[in-house]
Amino acid sequence: MRSTVTLYEDQYQFFKELKSEKLLVAFVEFMFDDVEPKNLNKLEKIVFNSLRVRMENQKKKSYA
């Protein structure tokens, strides 16, 4: 488990615009606990996957 993660302003804007707590929870669980998101709707999955590379890079940095 990581002790810190980075949330970028554009990621936060996605969550706010979509009013999606599921997307925010998916981000947090993925970043802290390596949990793949479940039960996201199609748009939420698209957004999450579009941010996946950045999140993976941040996770790698947190191990350094």
Is residue 41 assigned to a domain? yes
Is residue 21 assigned to a domain? yes
Quote the pLDDT of residue 26: 94
Q: CA 5 to CA 36: how far, in whole Å?
A: 16
Is residue 3 assigned to a domain? no
Quote the pLDDT of residue 63: 67
Range of the domain at 32: 9-63
Total domains, the chain: 1
Q: What is the pLDDT of residues 2-57, one digit of tens each?
A: 777 778 888 889 889 999 999 999 999 998 899 999 999 999 999 999 999 999 98
Quote the pLDDT of residue 10: 86
Q: Which residues contact 49 (CB under 8 A, 6 or more apart)?
A: none
Quote the pLDDT of residue 8: 83
Quote the pLDDT of residue 64: 56
Provide the token pair at 60: 């790698």
Is residue 31 assigned to a domain? yes
